[in-house]
Each structure stands twice: as C-alpha cells, then as structure tokens.
Structure 1
Amino acid sequence: MAARKVYASSENALADVFSGATLLIGGISQYGIPKTLINALADKDISELVCVFSPCSEFGAFPLTALDPLLKRGQISRLITAFPFYQNTGSLIESQWSSGNLSIEVIPQGLLSEKLRAGGAGLGGVFTPVGIGTSWSTRYETQEIDGRQCLFLEALRGDFALVRAQQSDNLGNLIYKGMERNWGPVMAMAADITIAEVTDIYDAGDLDPELIITPGIFVNRLIQSGQS
C-alpha cells in the first residue's frame, strides 16, 4: 500500500498543528466526529485554538461533549458554531463561556456552511438575502442586488480540517457513511491541510469511484480510526 498520505499515528498526522490555529471539525449530533484526532490533539502542548464546530445536538438528548478533551485543558479560546449549547445541561462549553474563558461566535447553520463553501471555492465571500432584518445581520455589510438587500458573508477557511469518513483509499478519496457526510465535504475543501480519520483504508483502485464524495486532492493526511 502506498503510504504517502497514510500516517502511522494521530500524533504524527497532527505534528504541525500550532497554537492559534483555526480548526474545522466535522460531525453532527454524535455522528461523524473525528474523536481519535480530537483526543490526540488534546495531548499536544498547544492553546488559543479557534474551532469551527457545529454539531447541532438534538434538544435535551445530551450536552455537547465532543470538544471536552480540548476544553478541559483550556486549549480552545474561540468557538464558531451555529448552536453552542443547551442551558443547564452541564456542558463544558457553557461553563467556560460563562467564566469568560471561551468566546463564542454564533452563525446560522446554513450561512456557516456557505462561508465555508466560499472558502473552499476560493471566493472572497458571498452575498445572500438570508438573514436580512434580523438582529444577527447588524454585524454585516449590506448591499442592494437586483432590488433586494443582501448580506455580505466573508469566506471562512481553516488552517486544518479534521473530518471522519468510513472508507478511503491511500490517495485520500473519501466515502462517508450516513450522517458522517455532514460537514466533512465542505470542510475538507476549506482548509489548508485536511486530516481524515477513516475506519477502513484501501489501495488505490479498490473503491467504487461512483461512491467517492470527497476527492483525494482535498485530503492531505489519513489515519485509521482508533490509532493513537
């Protein structure tokens, strides 16, 4: 198996993640979250991370815990998300925000996705009529286009994207399973370096090309899930 993109450990795959980096982290509800990579990241001596993570857990089911390994060590300074926490669920996100140790920027889910899409497409940003007239929109530049007021959303990119997939070949072509196919495809395109945590890794040519969602050109590194 060609091993150019396949790393022997999460530690090696994350070796150049630095303090102050912007991380795009995939996952929705409790699915498609790159937990092996998150746990390995918590072992690094880094801080001041900016995390783009928007799992949108279903109401009352559980507190959002996926980032707890990083939050417990005070490694995250800023969170960009559509929905950070439900009140009084014991979430570390809520407690660190309440104590002033974590800043949170809330962006509606669809617009957050569009900002990432623009970043992945190499655009400076996009205009959209969505959100006009809301209290949230006052932070943004507006412009009239074809008779409609539109918000300007700056593109959003990350230094690193951490995504989860079911299968990959050693070239980084990714196949997702079910809800794994959430933020992964758009985040993989919007990062300088994309690291994929994968259940099964195959030789090039072994996967059905019709099932591939994220082309390997957007994936820089692979680790097998559970590989510390």
Structure 2
Amino acid sequence: MGQRWSIQPGVSDHQVRRRRPRNFFWQFRVILVGDSTVGKTSIVLRLTEGTFREDLHKTIGVDYYIHILETTPTVRVKLQVWDTAGEKEHRTITQSHLQTLLGGLLVFDLTNRQSLDYLRKWLDESGPALDQGECIFILVGHKSDLSAERQVSQEEAEQVAADLGLTYIETSAKDGTNIHEAFLTLASTIAESVKTKVTEVKGVIHGVTEINGPVLLKKMTI
C-alpha cells in the first residue's frame, strides 16, 4: 500500500486552501548516526537550544528533538530529529528506524579515526534498509574546533564522502560552526527530492496524496 500524506491535525481543508505558501509546513523525520562520544547530542542541543555543555550523559536508545527552519522564503520545514545511541547494542534499534526516516547526518569525530570507520561499517550493515528507504544522508566531521588533535584531514574526509556519494561538512557544537548549515543543507536536499516526487505523482489535491510503492518511504506532513 502507498503512504498517505496528511495536512496538520486540526486544520480544515478550507483553511489549507486559503493559506499562503509560506505558511505550509513540511515535516521531515531525520536521524543522527555515529559512534559513541562523537558529539551527536551536542550537535542537536546547539541547533535546538543554542547551548553547549561538556557534561552530557550518553544517549540510551533514541532521544527526539523538534526544530523548525526555512529552506526557502516560502517553505518552512519542521524537523523531527532522532538522536541515537552509538553503542553496538543499540545499533539494531537505529536500523529499524530507517523505514520511517527521510535522511540524516552521519557524524564522526575528526579527532578519532575509528569513528569514521564506524560509519563505514554502519553503512555496510544498513545497506538493505537504506536501499528500501532511499534515505538522504550528509557526512559530518565534528569537533572542527580541535584542529591540533584531528586525525582525519579535510581532504581525506571529502574523498570518503565523494566515494559514498555524500555531501561533506565540518562542524563544531562548541563554537557553533556549521551546525545550522548542516541541518539546512539536509532539509533543503530532502525538500528538493520531495518536490520532485510530488510532481511525478498525479492527483495532488490540497496537499493530500496517495503514493504508490516506497517512493518517498515515509509519512510526511505538508
């Protein structure tokens, strides 16, 4: 069966018709994947709260955050960000979520080469789920503020990203470098993909469409 798109709860069809385009929300579920201690939670907190804390506890399972941003002057995106644990025992939980997600950030620590190897292994193990889901990912080299301690050069990371067919960006939750830009790039790329899929589907009426097959992979709110 196809996935059904729906307008926001409590909003009538009449209200939707009268709204200007800039009042529409697209809701995307996205995930942060990476080894333990690479700074995934720090990235999300910098995005959603504008804060940085050194004394964060490890994530157990999955935590959820909401953030709204504008990908264009006429399109606002509500991101439901899933912050996942990096420990091996939680990896199956992460993979099971791929069927309900549109994309995410693959995060590694620039001062820890093994964290990049973790992502390579995760991608290999998640191949079947990713093939079904058509998820859009961005490779993120985190902790760019620790330049003296880095083990992975920008050139090497860019080559890894190119080999994987991914966009690459370096971030720092500590000083805020490229945190907003990373999520904006992700949301914008997903939005462009979604708009392309929408134009391929007939019968788009007031933002409610029936999609046949796993074309868009998940429920969205327009």
Q: TM-score, normalised by structure 1?
A: 0.32
